[in-house]
Amino acid sequence: METVNTKMGSFEWLLLLILSVLWGGSFFFVGVAVTALPPLTIVVLRVGLAALALNLIVRATGLRMPKGWGCWKAFFGMGLLNNMIPFCLIVWGQTHIASGLASIFNATTPLFTVIVAHAFTKDEKISGGRMGGILIGFIGVAVIIGLDSLSDLGTNTLAQFAVLGAALSYAFAGVYGRRFKSMGVAPLVTATGQVTASTIVLIPLALVVDQPWTLAMPGLGAWAAISGLALVSTALAYIIYFRILATAGATNLLLVTFLIPVSAILLGVLFLGEKLAGKDLVGMGLICFGLAAIDGRFFARPLLRKSS
Protein backbone atom coordinates (compact mmCIF):
# COMPACT_ATOMS: atom_id res chain seq x y z
CA MET A 1 0.00 0.00 0.00
CA GLU A 2 1.37 3.43 -0.98
CA THR A 3 2.16 6.02 1.65
CA VAL A 4 0.29 9.32 1.85
CA ASN A 5 1.09 12.86 2.90
CA THR A 6 0.51 13.36 6.62
CA LYS A 7 0.15 17.13 6.12
CA MET A 8 -2.39 18.62 3.75
CA GLY A 9 -1.75 21.49 1.39
CA SER A 10 -4.04 24.48 0.84
CA PHE A 11 -5.91 22.74 -1.99
CA GLU A 12 -6.69 19.69 0.18
CA TRP A 13 -7.91 22.00 2.96
CA LEU A 14 -10.18 23.79 0.47
CA LEU A 15 -11.60 20.46 -0.69
CA LEU A 16 -12.06 19.44 2.95
CA LEU A 17 -14.03 22.62 3.66
CA ILE A 18 -16.26 22.06 0.63
CA LEU A 19 -16.80 18.43 1.66
CA SER A 20 -17.80 19.49 5.17
CA VAL A 21 -20.53 21.72 3.75
CA LEU A 22 -21.80 18.97 1.45
CA TRP A 23 -21.91 16.39 4.23
CA GLY A 24 -23.25 18.86 6.77
CA GLY A 25 -26.18 19.35 4.44
CA SER A 26 -26.84 15.60 4.42
CA PHE A 27 -28.07 15.71 8.02
CA PHE A 28 -30.48 18.49 7.07
CA PHE A 29 -31.73 16.58 4.02
CA VAL A 30 -32.22 13.40 6.07
CA GLY A 31 -34.06 15.41 8.73
CA VAL A 32 -36.57 16.45 6.07
CA ALA A 33 -36.81 13.06 4.33
CA VAL A 34 -37.46 10.99 7.49
CA THR A 35 -40.77 12.78 7.97
CA ALA A 36 -42.09 11.19 4.78
CA LEU A 37 -40.17 7.95 4.09
CA PRO A 38 -38.80 4.96 6.07
CA PRO A 39 -35.03 4.76 6.63
CA LEU A 40 -34.12 1.97 4.19
CA THR A 41 -36.06 3.55 1.34
CA ILE A 42 -34.25 6.84 1.92
CA VAL A 43 -30.89 5.08 1.79
CA VAL A 44 -31.78 3.22 -1.42
CA LEU A 45 -32.91 6.42 -3.12
CA ARG A 46 -29.75 8.17 -1.92
CA VAL A 47 -27.29 5.64 -3.30
CA GLY A 48 -29.42 4.71 -6.33
CA LEU A 49 -29.79 8.25 -7.67
CA ALA A 50 -26.14 8.96 -6.87
CA ALA A 51 -25.10 5.81 -8.75
CA LEU A 52 -27.17 6.83 -11.78
CA ALA A 53 -25.65 10.33 -11.82
CA LEU A 54 -22.08 9.13 -11.33
CA ASN A 55 -22.33 6.43 -14.01
CA LEU A 56 -23.53 9.09 -16.47
CA ILE A 57 -20.57 11.29 -15.51
CA VAL A 58 -18.13 8.40 -15.96
CA ARG A 59 -19.45 7.80 -19.47
CA ALA A 60 -19.42 11.51 -20.31
CA THR A 61 -15.79 11.88 -19.25
CA GLY A 62 -14.65 8.87 -21.28
CA LEU A 63 -13.68 6.77 -18.26
CA ARG A 64 -14.61 3.11 -17.97
CA MET A 65 -15.74 1.06 -15.04
CA PRO A 66 -13.43 -1.91 -14.32
CA LYS A 67 -14.69 -5.37 -15.25
CA GLY A 68 -12.50 -7.57 -13.05
CA TRP A 69 -13.92 -9.17 -9.90
CA GLY A 70 -10.99 -7.87 -7.85
CA CYS A 71 -12.09 -4.24 -8.22
CA TRP A 72 -15.76 -4.99 -7.78
CA LYS A 73 -15.08 -7.01 -4.65
CA ALA A 74 -13.34 -3.92 -3.26
CA PHE A 75 -16.28 -1.75 -4.38
CA PHE A 76 -18.74 -3.98 -2.50
CA GLY A 77 -16.52 -3.88 0.58
CA MET A 78 -16.27 -0.10 0.39
CA GLY A 79 -19.99 0.21 -0.23
CA LEU A 80 -20.73 -1.86 2.86
CA LEU A 81 -18.46 0.19 5.13
CA ASN A 82 -18.99 3.62 3.61
CA ASN A 83 -22.64 3.50 2.50
CA MET A 84 -24.82 0.63 3.61
CA ILE A 85 -23.92 0.38 7.30
CA PRO A 86 -23.44 4.08 8.15
CA PHE A 87 -26.28 5.44 6.01
CA CYS A 88 -28.80 3.02 7.52
CA LEU A 89 -27.61 3.68 11.07
CA ILE A 90 -27.63 7.47 10.64
CA VAL A 91 -31.04 7.63 8.96
CA TRP A 92 -32.57 5.36 11.61
CA GLY A 93 -30.86 7.38 14.33
CA GLN A 94 -32.27 10.61 12.94
CA THR A 95 -35.79 9.27 13.31
CA HIS A 96 -35.22 9.64 17.07
CA ILE A 97 -32.61 12.38 17.54
CA ALA A 98 -32.08 15.84 16.00
CA SER A 99 -29.91 16.29 12.93
CA GLY A 100 -27.53 18.62 14.79
CA LEU A 101 -26.99 16.06 17.54
CA ALA A 102 -26.44 13.32 14.95
CA SER A 103 -23.78 15.46 13.29
CA ILE A 104 -22.00 15.89 16.63
CA PHE A 105 -21.78 12.14 17.10
CA ASN A 106 -20.63 11.82 13.50
CA ALA A 107 -17.76 14.15 14.46
CA THR A 108 -16.25 11.28 16.44
CA THR A 109 -15.26 9.62 13.14
CA PRO A 110 -11.64 10.91 13.24
CA LEU A 111 -11.29 9.62 16.80
CA PHE A 112 -12.14 6.12 15.63
CA THR A 113 -10.06 6.60 12.48
CA VAL A 114 -6.89 7.35 14.45
CA ILE A 115 -7.26 4.01 16.24
CA VAL A 116 -8.17 2.02 13.11
CA ALA A 117 -5.41 3.63 11.02
CA HIS A 118 -2.84 2.92 13.73
CA ALA A 119 -3.82 -0.74 13.73
CA PHE A 120 -4.01 -1.29 9.96
CA THR A 121 -1.54 1.14 8.32
CA LYS A 122 2.19 1.76 8.52
CA ASP A 123 2.21 5.53 7.97
CA GLU A 124 -0.70 6.79 10.10
CA LYS A 125 0.39 5.84 13.63
CA ILE A 126 -0.87 7.28 16.91
CA SER A 127 1.30 9.99 18.47
CA GLY A 128 1.07 11.37 22.01
CA GLY A 129 -0.97 14.34 20.83
CA ARG A 130 -3.36 12.13 18.91
CA MET A 131 -3.86 9.83 21.89
CA GLY A 132 -4.71 12.86 24.04
CA GLY A 133 -7.13 14.04 21.39
CA ILE A 134 -8.84 10.65 21.35
CA LEU A 135 -9.37 10.73 25.13
CA ILE A 136 -10.70 14.30 25.08
CA GLY A 137 -13.02 13.47 22.19
CA PHE A 138 -14.48 10.43 23.89
CA ILE A 139 -15.06 12.49 27.05
CA GLY A 140 -17.04 14.85 24.84
CA VAL A 141 -19.15 11.94 23.61
CA ALA A 142 -19.76 10.83 27.20
CA VAL A 143 -20.88 14.35 28.15
CA ILE A 144 -23.39 14.42 25.31
CA ILE A 145 -24.83 10.98 26.08
CA GLY A 146 -24.90 11.64 29.83
CA LEU A 147 -24.50 9.08 32.59
CA ASP A 148 -28.22 9.29 33.34
CA SER A 149 -28.97 8.01 29.84
CA LEU A 150 -26.79 4.94 30.38
CA SER A 151 -28.82 3.93 33.43
CA ASP A 152 -31.95 3.58 31.30
CA LEU A 153 -31.17 2.65 27.72
CA GLY A 154 -34.12 4.03 25.78
CA THR A 155 -34.76 4.50 22.09
CA ASN A 156 -33.00 7.87 21.96
CA THR A 157 -29.87 6.46 23.59
CA LEU A 158 -29.81 3.55 21.16
CA ALA A 159 -30.18 6.04 18.32
CA GLN A 160 -27.14 7.92 19.62
CA PHE A 161 -25.12 4.70 19.70
CA ALA A 162 -26.34 3.91 16.17
CA VAL A 163 -24.78 7.14 14.88
CA LEU A 164 -21.60 6.33 16.80
CA GLY A 165 -21.61 2.93 15.08
CA ALA A 166 -21.85 4.75 11.75
CA ALA A 167 -18.80 6.83 12.70
CA LEU A 168 -16.86 3.65 13.44
CA SER A 169 -17.89 2.20 10.08
CA TYR A 170 -16.70 5.38 8.33
CA ALA A 171 -13.35 4.99 10.11
CA PHE A 172 -12.85 1.49 8.70
CA ALA A 173 -14.00 2.74 5.27
CA GLY A 174 -11.40 5.51 5.29
CA VAL A 175 -8.60 3.00 5.85
CA TYR A 176 -10.08 0.38 3.52
CA GLY A 177 -10.48 2.91 0.71
CA ARG A 178 -6.76 3.66 0.54
CA ARG A 179 -6.31 0.53 -1.58
CA PHE A 180 -7.94 2.09 -4.64
CA LYS A 181 -4.96 4.39 -5.29
CA SER A 182 -2.56 1.43 -5.44
CA MET A 183 -5.06 -0.40 -7.67
CA GLY A 184 -4.90 2.51 -10.13
CA VAL A 185 -8.62 3.30 -9.86
CA ALA A 186 -9.52 6.96 -10.44
CA PRO A 187 -11.41 8.75 -7.62
CA LEU A 188 -14.49 9.26 -9.83
CA VAL A 189 -14.57 5.57 -10.75
CA THR A 190 -14.15 4.56 -7.11
CA ALA A 191 -17.03 6.79 -6.03
CA THR A 192 -19.20 5.37 -8.80
CA GLY A 193 -18.28 1.77 -8.03
CA GLN A 194 -19.07 1.94 -4.33
CA VAL A 195 -22.52 3.54 -4.70
CA THR A 196 -23.37 1.18 -7.58
CA ALA A 197 -22.42 -1.85 -5.48
CA SER A 198 -24.43 -0.48 -2.55
CA THR A 199 -27.48 0.01 -4.75
CA ILE A 200 -27.31 -3.57 -6.06
CA VAL A 201 -27.39 -4.94 -2.50
CA LEU A 202 -29.89 -2.51 -0.97
CA ILE A 203 -32.68 -2.56 -3.58
CA PRO A 204 -33.83 -6.15 -2.78
CA LEU A 205 -33.67 -5.40 0.97
CA ALA A 206 -35.82 -2.28 0.62
CA LEU A 207 -38.36 -4.12 -1.52
CA VAL A 208 -38.75 -6.80 1.16
CA VAL A 209 -38.58 -4.63 4.28
CA ASP A 210 -40.29 -1.36 3.31
CA GLN A 211 -42.49 -2.51 0.41
CA PRO A 212 -42.25 1.00 -1.07
CA TRP A 213 -45.22 0.51 -3.41
CA THR A 214 -47.46 0.58 -0.32
CA LEU A 215 -46.14 3.95 0.91
CA ALA A 216 -47.86 7.28 0.39
CA MET A 217 -46.31 9.46 -2.29
CA PRO A 218 -43.89 11.94 -0.65
CA GLY A 219 -44.40 15.65 -1.12
CA LEU A 220 -42.25 18.04 -3.12
CA GLY A 221 -40.16 18.96 -0.07
CA ALA A 222 -39.24 15.33 0.58
CA TRP A 223 -38.27 14.77 -3.06
CA ALA A 224 -36.15 17.92 -3.03
CA ALA A 225 -34.39 16.64 0.10
CA ILE A 226 -33.78 13.23 -1.49
CA SER A 227 -32.38 14.88 -4.61
CA GLY A 228 -30.03 17.05 -2.57
CA LEU A 229 -29.01 14.07 -0.47
CA ALA A 230 -28.23 11.91 -3.52
CA LEU A 231 -26.72 14.39 -5.97
CA VAL A 232 -25.00 16.91 -3.70
CA SER A 233 -24.26 15.13 -0.42
CA THR A 234 -23.43 11.77 -2.02
CA ALA A 235 -22.43 11.92 -5.71
CA LEU A 236 -20.48 15.19 -5.62
CA ALA A 237 -19.25 14.62 -2.07
CA TYR A 238 -17.72 11.22 -2.85
CA ILE A 239 -15.84 12.54 -5.88
CA ILE A 240 -14.14 14.99 -3.50
CA TYR A 241 -13.83 12.34 -0.76
CA PHE A 242 -11.77 9.92 -2.85
CA ARG A 243 -9.67 12.75 -4.28
CA ILE A 244 -8.60 13.78 -0.76
CA LEU A 245 -8.18 10.17 0.39
CA ALA A 246 -5.78 9.41 -2.45
CA THR A 247 -3.36 12.18 -1.45
CA ALA A 248 -3.90 13.00 2.23
CA GLY A 249 -4.83 9.69 3.89
CA ALA A 250 -7.69 8.47 6.05
CA THR A 251 -6.90 10.38 9.24
CA ASN A 252 -6.59 13.75 7.51
CA LEU A 253 -9.63 13.15 5.34
CA LEU A 254 -11.94 12.32 8.21
CA LEU A 255 -11.03 15.52 10.03
CA VAL A 256 -13.84 16.80 7.79
CA THR A 257 -16.26 15.76 10.52
CA PHE A 258 -14.65 18.43 12.72
CA LEU A 259 -16.37 20.98 10.45
CA ILE A 260 -19.64 19.18 9.68
CA PRO A 261 -21.54 19.84 12.95
CA VAL A 262 -21.48 23.61 12.47
CA SER A 263 -23.27 23.54 9.13
CA ALA A 264 -25.61 20.71 10.20
CA ILE A 265 -26.59 22.48 13.42
CA LEU A 266 -27.20 25.80 11.66
CA LEU A 267 -29.37 24.14 9.00
CA GLY A 268 -31.32 22.19 11.64
CA VAL A 269 -31.94 25.27 13.77
CA LEU A 270 -32.82 27.53 10.84
CA PHE A 271 -35.09 25.19 8.87
CA LEU A 272 -36.17 22.34 11.18
CA GLY A 273 -36.76 24.25 14.41
CA GLU A 274 -34.32 22.05 16.33
CA LYS A 275 -32.68 22.99 19.63
CA LEU A 276 -29.60 21.64 21.40
CA ALA A 277 -29.08 21.33 25.15
CA GLY A 278 -26.14 22.99 26.89
CA LYS A 279 -24.43 19.63 27.46
CA ASP A 280 -24.55 19.00 23.71
CA LEU A 281 -22.61 22.20 23.05
CA VAL A 282 -20.10 21.38 25.82
CA GLY A 283 -19.62 17.89 24.40
CA MET A 284 -19.18 19.28 20.89
CA GLY A 285 -16.57 21.71 22.20
CA LEU A 286 -14.61 18.86 23.79
CA ILE A 287 -14.82 16.83 20.58
CA CYS A 288 -13.54 19.80 18.57
CA PHE A 289 -10.69 20.32 21.03
CA GLY A 290 -9.81 16.63 20.76
CA LEU A 291 -9.80 16.82 16.98
CA ALA A 292 -7.53 19.87 17.10
CA ALA A 293 -5.12 17.87 19.28
CA ILE A 294 -5.24 14.98 16.82
CA ASP A 295 -4.49 17.32 13.91
CA GLY A 296 -1.62 18.95 15.84
CA ARG A 297 -1.28 22.12 13.76
CA PHE A 298 -3.01 24.45 16.21
CA PHE A 299 -0.79 23.43 19.11
CA ALA A 300 2.39 23.32 17.05
CA ARG A 301 2.22 26.96 15.93
CA PRO A 302 2.86 28.61 19.33
CA LEU A 303 5.85 26.31 19.81
CA LEU A 304 7.22 27.31 16.43
CA ARG A 305 6.86 31.00 17.31
CA LYS A 306 8.71 30.56 20.61
CA SER A 307 11.58 28.74 18.95
CA SER A 308 11.95 31.33 16.20
CA angle 11–180–128, rounded 5-degree value? 65
What is the spatial distance between Cα 113 and Cα 159, in angstroms, rounded to a whole number? 21
DSSP string, 19-76: HHHHHHHHHHHHHHHTTTS-HHHHHHHHHHHHHHHHHHHHHHTT-----SHHHHHHHH
pLDDT (0 to 100) of residue 33:
93
pLDDT (0 to 100) of residue 203:
95
Structural domain spans, the chain:
10-307
Question: How many residues are present in the chain?
Answer: 308
Q: How far apart are the first and last CA of the chain?
A: 37
Q: How far, CA to CA in Å, does 41 sit from each of 154, 189, 208?
A: 25, 25, 11
Q: What are the average pLDDT values for consecutive 10-residue runs of the chain, which has 308 residues? A: 58 84 84 91 96 95 90 95 94 85 80 86 76 80 67 71 93 89 88 95 94 91 95 92 78 67 69 76 81 66 50
Q: What is the largest CA-CA distance in the chain?
A: 69
pLDDT (0 to 100) of residue 271:
76
Q: How far, CA to CA in Å, does 26 sit from each of 90, 91, 141, 217?
A: 10, 10, 21, 21
pLDDT (0 to 100) of residue 228:
96
